[in-house]
Amino acid sequence: MQVRKCNMAIRSNIRKLDRDIASAKAAETKTKNLIIAADRRGQRNPSQQKQAQKEVRDFARELVRARRNNARLVTSKAQLASVQMQVNEAFALRKIEGSIRASVGVMRDVNSLIRLPELAGTMQELSRELMKAGIIEEMVGDVLPESDLLEDEEEEAESEVDKVLGEILKDKMEKTGALPSVPLPAKEQPQQTPAQYEDEDEEATDAMMNQMRDRLEALRS
C-alpha cells in the first residue's frame, strides 16, 4: 500500500513536470519568433530601429530565462525519476531484510524538489508518504523562500544575451540573406542547438535510469 501511494505521488509530479516542460518549450519558441519579428520591424522601419533593438534584447533576456527554467525542469524530472527508482529499491530491500532504512540520497533529492514552486504542494504530499514509510526522516526548516531561490536567475549576463542573439539572428540571416538590425557579437562561440541540448538531457536521464535499474535488478536476483 505504501509503495503504491508513493509511486502514485511521484507519477503525479512527473506528469506535472512534463506539462511544465512542454509549456517552457512553447515559451522558447514564442520568444524566438518575437525576437525575429522585432528585428524585422527594425529593418523595415529605420525610424523604429532603436526601439526594435531594445525590444530584441529584452526578448533575448526572456529567452535566457525560459531556457534556464526549461533546464531546471528537465533536471528536476531526472531527480524525480531517481527518487522513484530509489523508493522501489528501498521497498525491495525491505522484502529481503525486513526493514527500511532512511535514504540520504532520497532525502537530498526530495529536499531539492520541494523547493520548486511548481512542485511545492505535491512534493509535500510525497514527502509525508516517504516519512510514513521510513524512507526519509522529517525535514525541518530546509525549504528556502522562492525569492531566494530565483535571485540568481534574475540577472542575465549581457554576454549570454549576446550569444542568444548571435544564434537566432545569424540563423535568420543565413536563411534570408538579410542583415540583422541588431549588431551581432564581434566574436561568437559555437552554440549548441536546442536539439543538442535535448539530446544531452535525454542521455543524462537514460544513464541515470539504467544505473538505478541495474541496482534494483541486482537486489531482486
- Alpha carbon 200 to chain centroid distance? 13
Give the Cα separation of 101 and 48 in Å (integer).
65
Give the Cα separation of 87 and 106 in Å (integer).
8
Give the Cα separation of 219 and 184 in Å (integer).
56
Cell of 61: 533576456
What's the confidence (pLDDT) of residue 172?
A: 64
Give the Cα separation of 98 and 127 in Å (integer).
22
pTM of the model: 0.66
Using DSSP, state whether 46 is helix, strand or coil: helix
Give the Cα separation of 10 and 219 in Å (integer).
22
What's the confidence (pLDDT) of residue 179?
A: 52
Asked if residues 182 and 39 have their Cβ atoms less than 8 Å apart, the reply is yes
Segments in the chain forming alpha helices (H)? 2-44, 49-97, 104-113, 120-133, 146-149, 158-176, 194-220
**Could you state, in chain order, the average pLDDT of each consecutive group of 10 residues for the chain (221 residues)?**
82 91 93 90 85 89 90 91 85 73 77 81 80 73 46 62 83 60 57 56 66 63 57
Asked if residues 88 and 3 have their Cβ atoms less than 8 Å apart, the reply is yes
What domains sit in the chain, N to C, each tagged with a CATH number?
A: 2-220 (1.20.1260)
Query: Which amino acid does the sequence have at 94?
Result: R
What's the confidence (pLDDT) of residue 166?
A: 83
What's the confidence (pLDDT) of residue 198?
A: 56
